[in-house]
Amino acid sequence: MRHLLILRVIAKLIIPLILLLALYVQFHGDFGPGGGFQAGVIFAAGFILYGLVFDLDHARKVAPPALLPVLMAVGVLIYAGVGVIALLLGGNFLEYKVLAEDPVHGQHLGIMLIELGVGITVAAVMLAIFFSFAGRGR
């Protein structure tokens, strides 16, 4: 798509906005619609747009496929780690109120961490799926 100059310029303007929207959805998910899953998909969509417009090899340099399984595992470990920490603090698995002195603050902290783990995992999985299918020959 090197000859499509307008598409490349518009993509350069829109991709940062897509990533910013993903961060907004991620960190606003406990107050309104959104959360980790939606943010992960939006974040991956920004990288997928980059890969479609600027070339798959450039996208692989920005988000190396070898890093994606690590990010998938990190997201799951964050999710499970919140549950294990709650168990170690004397609560049930994923009982957020034991994460802080104030139960409301603990709920907020637990939800934010859980959604962060989900967002990281979903974005990594979506990018891995994209790289798997886009890298295939015809």
| pTM assigned to the model | 0.89
In this prediction, residue 35 has a pLDDT band, given cuts at 50, 70 and 90, of confident
Locate the domains of the chain by residue range. 5-134
pLDDT for 1 equals: 66
Q: Average pLDDT, stretch 43-72? A: 94
Token pair, residue 127, equals: 């990018």
pLDDT for 63 equals: 92
Evaluate whether 57 touches 106 at the Cβ level (below 8 Å): no
- Give the helix, strand, coil percentages of the chain, each rounded to 5: 80, 0, 20
Q: Average pLDDT, stretch 10-35? A: 88
